[in-house]
Structure 1
Amino acid sequence: VEAADWIVWQLTGNETCSACSAGYKAFWNHCSGYPAPDFFKALGPKMEHAAEKLGKVISPLGERAGGVTAEMARRTGLREGTAVSVGNVDAHVCVPAAGISGPGKLLAILGTSTCHMVLGTEGKRVPGVCGMVKDGILPGYFGFEAGQSCVGDLFSWFLNACLPASCREEAFARGKSLHEYLREKAQKLKPGESGLLALDWWNGNRSILTDGDLTGLLLGMTLQTRPEELYRALIEATAYGTRILVENYREHGVPVEEFVAAGGISRKDPMTMQIYADVLNTPVQIVGTHQGSAFGSALFGAVAAGRENGGFSHILEAAERLGKRGNTVYDPVSEHTAVYDRLYGEYKQLHDYFGRGGSNVMKRLKALSREQKQK
């Protein structure tokens, strides 16, 4: 049982299976159901009959799963009978909180990793995109999901593994966090000034290569390279990775007309969001709530309660009435976008060479590392 569905089950006493969880977590399809036994058997012989144990009745998002039981009311402090919506996934539930109620608006949640979600009116096959689920994000639309498996984690790795003690001491003396200290220095750099270029695969590549054995790459270092230059190059790499995903959506018939950002990085790091706007050559709009997933959950709960109880009749209505788009917008700077277009071209060459079979050196190095560690 998916954890989100299990929690709803405990709250209401009714076992449900969310279309979001089933589609994105278990490859359920609205036409054909779960994958055939051969698919699960290929993953592992003991998994051949896994589909028989998964939920058979798939519940649409926003549907009322039931009411809070007397026991759970006692344990949680909620009122008995309070409406409970079917389960959802942390990233996907943020979409209506961002005021998104239709196609063409991509929501990227930037944190330790990044999830990129967009709605479409047709079920398109988008290579390298793991999730495409009808009614999986908002009812009435196909929900597309791609992602980067290392974003904020990459910046933290640099601070923890690579930052000189002198930088830490200076930041402490100035009363700044390490991120604030590095941003202050890095934002003074012009695009391309450092001569650095990175591939953002420190935790493999989720989309669009879907290859966990790929690793990071940092190119162009000299004896003059400074920590803030490395830091900015890693941030730029994640922006290039996002551009790959956006272009992949567009190339395969899923329009992306607006770019909306949520998550901690979007609110805490203006430099990073400006770099994203410049790399994408698209305005980046920031969601107007600090807790997008919690707020989106409340919206779905209001739909489960229904209009008769002061809620809403449909999640699209809730998104349009209460979804929050903040006043902060980062517009691309033309002289920056011209340079980033050139850098992105170089990134794309490295991306395809190391990610599409030009060289498997990353995998050979990982294999050798495992071999030596096992001795």
Structure 2
Amino acid sequence: MIMSVAANTYFVGVDVGTGSARAALVDVKGTVLKQCVKAIKTWNPESDHYEQSSEDIWRSVCHCVKEVTSDTNKAYIKAISFDATCSLVVLGTNGKPLTVSNTFNSEQNIILWMDHRAQAEAALINATKHDLLKYVGGQVSLEMEIPKLLWLKKNLQHTWAKIWRAFDLPDYLTWRSTGVDTRSLCSVVCKWNYDAMNMCWSAEFLKKIGLEDLCNNNFEIIGERVYEPGAAVGDGLTNEAAEELSLLPGTIVGTSLIDAHAGALGMFGCLAALESTDKQLAASLENLQGKLALICGTSTCHMSLTREPCMAQGVWGPYKGAILPNYFLNEGGQSAAGILLDFVVKGHSQYAAIQAKLGKNEHIYTYLNNLLEKMAKERKYEDICYLTKDLHVWPDFHGNRSPIADPNLRGMISGLNMNADEESLALLYLAFVQALAHGTRHIIDNLVKKYKRVPYNSMLFCGGLAKNSVYVQAHADICQLPAVIPDEQEMVLVGSAMLGACAANTFGSLEATSKAMGGTGVLLKPKSSTKDFHNRKYRVFQQMLEDQRKYKGIMEDTK
């Protein structure tokens, strides 16, 4: 039952991604009324090191919030909440930035999520085979925070000795706005090896891996108080933060989520707009346990919920209560998705020539999608998928996050020739899109067939790649699951706003909030006619993995 809510009730959702900060003004129906984006700075001082600045990010957040609320009576804005990448923020005394960089620049006090410097530290942690690792697919990822903290201790002692607080970026934003030192259950259970089953930090685990320092003073460096997503924090915005954000002091602040998890929250309540004759399908699509949410941006995260825990090697989780209470989250992912397609397309010899002839509002992926349709028509193919019959890709150019969890895997391409025209670019782009979709099928098969998870009934898409019809349809066809694209495209921002709505008790529980603000979406059904073709290509996809392992075996004894 949806509670009666005044029409002039608004929420602000803030999303800090890899390259920018965004804010949106969102109404009670989950519609983004106004949004603003501002770039944030990233340093890449050496290979695999990616660093950012908490001060730079906060300034960008304040700019965006001021912009989206400039024409709105601040009394109507009931709450604000944050989501962000799972990046490590390090602060010294009085909350001042502490360097995480070999450059010793104090401004560079964030280790970005995609930073891969902590490979040795992750391996050391995984070698312990600690029981907590079963909740991260059997091994911790070097993208998580505990390996990064261990790297700091081993490599930057002058920083380590001065740490006052270490935050996940979304928790930092909550602290910066309220002055209250809390952590989101989402952040700590998904990225910090927090024991959600017992709702506590494991001193035994931290001591075993050499981070006993974090146990001091009741774990104050990494957070004594852990809140569920959507819980209200303190007394809301402090006077200082309210002035910086141009909002009213005391405006309610909801406990944060990681950015991809905010997108999942936004989409879990979304329903497909169906014909009245599709009652059976409609009922199936309402089953929360059957939904796979794909948050598709620089990377792709695959989120799904179950009532009972599902232990799966190579897939993170089950994380208890990480998004919704009484549900366990499993999280798969691809470390490089949108960034991989950009890498392939921008590196082709035809990229500059195509860009030069595009209209002001025309995107190169739209151009390539249209070119693929033309090519298929000329070759009398009933579907563009057949164009890549002899071109195959293994897409892990930045390692595999799921379901193999091997950061050392690399990309492979089979079927290259010496063509360098526009059509060769279109084919290569399509092969990479299909490879990413095969990667999603690989995750699904791992969970459902090997680990007996509840079968999926649908996929939901948000993020930049969700706007690419070829990408979404390829997933529907390759995974043989209907795909839902929300009518509201900015579901990460909506999910962030939902946290504030929940904190303000607008609709009651967070699950009720998701349903009330999730809206509807367009349904793309899988094509049965291409099923055999995709099954064959999926067999090639799997064989490429085995081939890569053989190559490594042949070469492993060489210097």
Give the TM-score range, shorter chain. Answer: 0.7 to 0.9
Deviates more, 1:97-106 or 1:198-207: 97-106
Pairing partner for 1:336 from 524, 530, 555: 530
Q: 1:363 to 1:139 in 2, by over 3 A?
A: farther
Deviation at 1:362, TM superposition (A): 10
Deviation at 1:324, TM superposition (A): 2.3
Pairing partner for 2:227 from 59, 70, 80: 59
2:263/2:491 contact within 8 Å kept: yes
Q: 1:227 maps to which residue? A: 425
| SS state at 1:61 partner | coil
2:182/2:224 contact within 8 Å kept: no
- Provide the alpha-carbon RMSD of the alignment: 2.4
Amino acid at match of 2:337: V
Deviates more, 1:330-339 or 1:30-39: 30-39
Deviation at 1:108, TM superposition (A): 0.2
Q: 1:292 maps to which residue? A: 491
Listed one character per residue, the Cα deviations across residues 268-289 of structure 1 (whole Å, up to 9, x for unaligned) are: x111211111111111111222
Pairing partner for 1:104 from 274, 282, 290: 290
Mapped partners of 1:260, 1:210: distance in 2: 23
Q: 1:266 to 1:50 in 2, by over 3 A?
A: same
Moved over 6 A (4+): none
Deviation at 1:181, TM superposition (A): 2.6
Amino acid at match of 1:273: V
Deviation at 1:312, TM superposition (A): 2.0
Q: 1:197 maps to which residue? A: 392
Mapped partners of 2:184, 2:289: distance in 1: 21
| SS state at 1:88 partner | strand
Mapped partners of 1:211, 1:363: distance in 2: 18
Q: 2:545 maps to which residue? A: 351
Pairing partner for 2:356 from 141, 166, 172: 172
Q: TM-score, normalised by structure 1?
A: 0.87
> Within 5 A, what are the aligned runs for 1:106-185?
106-161=292-347, 163-165=348-350, 168-170=352-354, 172-173=356-357, 175=359, 176-185=362-371
1:243 partnered with 2:441:
yes
Deviation at 1:347, TM superposition (A): 0.8
Amino acid at match of 2:225: V
Q: 1:363 to 1:331 in 2, by over 3 A?
A: farther
Count of matched residue pairs: 354
Q: 2:201 maps to which residue? A: 34
Mapped partners of 1:19, 1:115: distance in 2: 18
1:315 partnered with 2:510:
yes
1:62/1:86 contact within 8 Å kept: yes
Mapped partners of 1:80, 1:220: distance in 2: 61
| SS state at 1:139 partner | coil
Q: 1:270 maps to which residue? A: 469
1:360 partnered with 2:360:
no
Deviation at 1:11, TM superposition (A): 1.6
Q: Sequence identity, in percent?
A: 27
Q: 2:157 maps to which residue? A: none
Deviation at 1:213, TM superposition (A): 1.2
Amino acid at match of 1:337: K
| SS state at 1:65 partner | coil
Mapped partners of 1:48, 1:37: distance in 2: 9
| SS state at 1:122 partner | coil
Deviation at 1:135, TM superposition (A): 0.6
Deviates more, 1:342-351 or 1:33-42: 33-42
Q: 2:188 maps to which residue? A: 22
Mapped partners of 2:513, 2:315: distance in 1: 28
Deviation at 1:142, TM superposition (A): 0.6
Q: 1:50 maps to which residue? A: 214
Unaligned runs of 5+ in 1: 369-375
Q: 1:75 to 1:147 in 2, by over 3 A?
A: same
Pairing partner for 2:479 from 276, 280, 285: 280
Pairing partner for 1:305 from 494, 504, 512: 504
Mapped partners of 1:184, 1:40: distance in 2: 57
Deviates more, 1:51-60 or 1:204-213: 51-60
| SS state at 1:244 partner | helix
Unaligned runs of 5+ in 2: 1-166, 270-286, 377-383
| SS state at 2:385 partner | coil
Mapped partners of 1:325, 1:147: distance in 2: 25
1:29/1:133 contact within 8 Å kept: no
Deviation at 1:332, TM superposition (A): 1.4
Q: 1:303 to 1:173 in 2, by over 3 A?
A: closer
| SS state at 1:193 partner | helix
Deviation at 1:241, TM superposition (A): 0.3
| SS state at 1:87 partner | strand
Q: 1:210 maps to which residue? A: 405
Mapped partners of 1:286, 1:131: distance in 2: 25
1:134/1:140 contact within 8 Å kept: yes
Deviation at 1:86, TM superposition (A): 1.3
